[in-house]
Amino acid sequence: MIALYTPKAKLVLCFLSLCFLSDLAYSQSVEGLDVELYYISDANDATDVLGGELPEGSRTYRLFLNLCEGCKLSTLYGSPSHPFFITSTENFFNSSFGQTFGHNITNASLAFGIIPLDSYLTVGGAGKQQVGYMKGEDETGSLFEGADLLQNDDSEMGIPIKESDGMVFFEGDTEPEFFSEGGTVPLSSAFGTSASDVSSYYSTDLTVQTSGVEGFGSENRVLIGQITTLGELEFEINVSVINPDGVTEKFVARDTLLGPNEQVSAFLKYPPNCGCTDPDYVEYDPAAGCDDGSCSELIVFGCLNEEACNFDPTANFDVPELCCFVDSCQGLDISILCPTLGYGETLAENFRLYPNPTSGNFFIDGFHMDAYVRRRFVMIDSFGRVMLDKELSPWSGRYEVPVDQLTTGVYSIRFLFEKEWVTERVVIVK
C-alpha cells in the first residue's frame, strides 16, 4: 500500500492475483510504501539556531518501504531511464550537524536540539546504533522525553515523538553493511551539513548499496528516508530487492524503458497515481497506488463464444478455457457446464432418455401406456432436418434409437403423447 499516516488520510493499495488474467508486471516483493508524518515543528522548536533554522510548521516525513516476508532491501538507485529524485515545494531542512545518511547520525547528535529532524536517506538506519520503526510499533519510549525541544503533541501527527521516537537500538547483526555510496551528483548537495537552500535532489546514476536489510517491527518495513520541509513532497525512487529465493529484483517508479530485470511498481512514486485498486472490477489498474473510487463494473467471467453450449451473454470477461462444445468440452464436465442440454432428464411421467450425451445408440424407457394412445417420435438435427420419424407402438420396456447414420451434434427429440408434443435434446459425440 501507499499510505500517508495521519489520522486524516490513509491511501491503500493491495495487489491480488486474478485467475485467468495474464501475468502482471507488478511484483509482490514490493508491497507498499508508508509515508509517516513523524513530527510538526512548533514555535519552541524554531528558537533553536545552533542546529539550523527550522521554520515553525515544518513537517518531518519518514518513508518506509514495505517488502514481502523474507525480502531484503539492498539498493537505492537512479539511472538515465529511471532517475531517482525527491523534491519539495519548499526547502529541505538540513541541520548544521546532520548527515547525508541516517546511519551516520551519532547518538550525541540525536540528543542535541532539532538535529533528529534532519533530512537524509538511509537503508534501515535512523542513527549509528538505531533502526527506524513506525512510531506505533516502537514500544521502547523516546530519547526526547523531557527534552527542551521536540515536545509538540499536535494530534495531526498522531503519537508525539516525545512518547515514541520511532528508533530502537540495533540488536546482534541487524546493523546494515553499506559498501557502496556513489553518483556524480553528491547526495550531500541536498542532504547533509553542506546543503543550503535546497528543495530537490535528482540523480540518474545514484547507487546506495548494502548487503541487504530486512525491516523491523511486526511488518517488513524498511526506513529509506526522512525529509523535513514546509512544502509538499514529490518523489520517484528505484530499488533493488533480494527476494526470499536469493534472487535480486529491480523495481522502478516509471513504466517506460525497462531495463534487464526491472519491473515497475506503483508504490515507488509519490503522490501516487490513483485508480481502481480492486481486482474484482473491470476498471482495475495494477499501476494505481491509491483508490479513487472508479471501480464500477464487477468482473463476470464466462464464455463469450456464441457457438458454445454454455455461451454466457451476461459475462464481460471472456475465458475461452471455459467454453464447452458438443464435440470438445476441453476436459470439462459438459453435464455441469451445459445443463440445458437435458442430460438424463425425465421427458414426461414414466419416461426417460439415456445415455445423454452418447457416442452410440440411446434409449427411451417407459412405453407402457394405454395401447390406444397414439405415440410418435421425431428426431431433428441442428439445421431443422428430420433425421427420424417413427410411430411407436405400445410396449412395456425400452425403445433403442440407432445413431450410426448420424454425426456429432445436438439433436432435438420430439415426442407426441396423444395430442401433446414434448421436446428434449440429446447430444451425440462420435
On the 0-12 / 13-18 / 19+ scale of CB atoms within 10 A, 129 is middle
363, β-bridge pairs: 354, 400
Of 343, 333, 369, the closest CA to residue 428 belongs to 343
Is the pLDDT at 193 greater than 70, yes or no?
yes
- Phi then psi for 134, rounded to 5 degrees? -65, 140
Across 247-253, average pLDDT = 96
Q: Label the pairing between strands 420-428 and 375-380.
A: unpaired
Q: What angle do CA 285, 291, 293 make, to 5 degrees?
A: 100
pLDDT in tens, 151-187: 999 999 999 999 999 999 876 555 667 777 889 999 9
Is the pLDDT at 38 greater than 50, yes or no?
yes
CA distance 167 to 135: 8
* Structure confidence at residue 26 (pLDDT): 43
Helix (H, G, I), strand (E, B) or coil at 248: strand
* Structure confidence at residue 3 (pLDDT): 54
Is the pLDDT at 21 greater than 70, yes or no?
no
Long-range residue pairs from 284-290, CB within 8 A, at least 24 positions apart, any chain: 284/18, 286/15, 286/24, 286/25, 286/26, 287/26, 287/255, 288/13, 289/2, 289/11, 289/13, 289/33, 290/2, 290/11, 290/12, 290/13
Residues listed for the chain: 430
Is the pLDDT at 4 greater than 80, yes or no?
no
Across 115-137, average pLDDT = 92
Of 126, 133, 128, the closest CA to residue 34 belongs to 133
Across 101-114, average pLDDT = 87
pLDDT in tens, 312-361: 888 888 989 888 887 778 777 776 677 666 444 444 555 678 888 888 89
Q: Label the pairing between strands 317-318 and 301-302.
A: parallel
Residue type, 310: N
* Structure confidence at residue 228 (pLDDT): 97
Percentage of the chain surpassing pLDDT 70? 83
CB 348 within 8 A of CB 417: yes
Lowest mean pLDDT among 14-18, 68-72, 395-399, 421-425: 14-18
Residue by residue, DSSP assigns 358-378 as BSS-EEEE---S-TTS-EEEE
DSSP 404: T
Is the pLDDT at 401 greater than 50, yes or no?
yes
> Cα separations (Å) of 288 from 13, 23, 66, 272, 379?
8, 17, 16, 7, 57
* Structure confidence at residue 255 (pLDDT): 87
Lowest mean pLDDT among 39-43, 60-64, 298-302, 393-397: 393-397
Lowest mean pLDDT among 89-103, 192-206, 307-321, 363-377: 363-377
* Structure confidence at residue 366 (pLDDT): 63
pLDDT in tens, 347-375: 455 567 888 888 889 888 765 555 556 67
Cβ neighbours for 147, distance < 8 A, ≥ 6 positions apart: 111, 162
pLDDT in tens, 269-327: 999 888 898 888 988 887 777 888 999 998 888 889 888 888 888 888 898 988 888 77
Quick one: three-class SS letters along 148-199?
CCCCCCCHHHCCCCCCCCCEEECCCCCCCCEEEEECCCCHHHCCCCCCCCCC
Helix (H, G, I), strand (E, B) or coil at 97: coil
Q: Can you list the domains of the chain with their CATH numbers?
A: 2-291 (no CATH), 302-339 (no CATH), 342-428 (2.60.40.3080)
Find which of 25-39, 119-133, 185-199, 235-249 is predicted with most confidence, using mean pLDDT. 235-249
Cell numbers placing 199: 528543495
* Bigger pLDDT: 416 vs 69: 69
* Structure confidence at residue 15 (pLDDT): 24
* Structure confidence at residue 96 (pLDDT): 83
- What is the pLDDT of the chain when averaged over all its residues? 82
CA distance 266 to 15: 10
Across 68-85, average pLDDT = 96
On the 0-12 / 13-18 / 19+ scale of CB atoms within 10 A, 259 is exposed
* Structure confidence at residue 9 (pLDDT): 31
* Structure confidence at residue 12 (pLDDT): 25
CB 413 within 8 A of CB 353: yes
Alpha-helical runs (H) found in 67-106? none
Is the pLDDT at 13 greater than 50, yes or no?
no
Cβ neighbours for 340, distance < 8 A, ≥ 6 positions apart: 309, 425
* Structure confidence at residue 175 (pLDDT): 61
